[in-house]
Amino acid sequence: MSLRMALLGLLTASGPASGYDLTKRFESSVNHAWHAGHSQIYPELAKMAADGLVTVGEEGPRGRKTYTVTEEGSRRLHDWLVTKEHFRPVRDEGALRAFLLPMLEPEESVPLLRREAGVYAARLAELEALEASKPRERETRFGRYALDLGIRQMRMMRDWAEETADRIEHAARG
């Protein structure tokens, strides 16, 4: 369902597109919120067309197919967005590793956390650059709040990793 909604959202935000386009749009936008590759996107678009959520245009060069959202598709996306009861259970590998972290010795966990803090910091810098560069056009309005959320997320993870490393170091010495 989530993949469907992400695709309907992208089609609504930036207009009709091919599976190939959508795969790239995924990479450059929703990817921080939801990941999907082309091998998932192509079959899903076919199912969505069968279910009347999108229509397929005539084949263009290189067999290109262009998908457009239908009224039904719009309605379904709207309904999904407004309905609150369907949160997926959490499955966050970073958090799982955090959970298991106390199993390691400080000599192992501290450098690990510092390294991870670095990864989060780099990701944060990327997102901040993206935010600064992006003009406030119609299409770019979509995902604006998500970008802000992504930035907050990275900042939080970086701080958590750094401060947890400090705590462990302090406990090991004290």
Instruction: Find out whether 49 and 105 touch, Cβ atoms under 8 Å.
Output: no
152, interface contact from its own copies, DNA, none, CB < 5-8 Å by kind: its own copies
Least distance from C-beta 31 to DNA, angstroms?
11
Write the binding mask 11 to 40 for its own copies: x where contact by CB under 8 A, - elsewhere.
-xx---------------xxxxxxx-----
Q: Which of 39, 102, 135, 174 binds DNA (CB under 7 A)?
A: 39
d(Cα 66, Cα 113) in Å, to the nearest integer?
A: 45
142, interface contact from DNA, its own copies, none, CB < 5-8 Å by kind: its own copies
State yes or no: residue 89 binds DNA (CB under 7 A): yes
Least distance from C-beta 146 to its own copies, angstroms?
4
Based on CB atoms, which residue is closest to DNA, 23 or 74?
Answer: 23
Residue type, 106: P
* Burial class of residue 69, CB neighbours in 10 A (0-12, 13-18, 19+): buried
d(Cα 22, Cα 42) in Å, to the nearest integer?
A: 9
Write the binding mask 49 to 88 for its own copies: x where contact by CB under 8 A, - elsewhere.
----------------------------xx--xx-x-xxx
Q: Which window, 20-28, 76-84, 102-110, 114-122, contacts DNA (CB under 7 A)? A: 20-28
Of 10, 139, 138, 2, residue with least CA distance to 67: 10
State yes or no: residue 58 binds DNA (CB under 7 A): no
Q: Helix/strand/coil (H, E, C) string of 51-81?
A: CCCEEECCCCHHHCCCEEECHHHHHHHHHHH
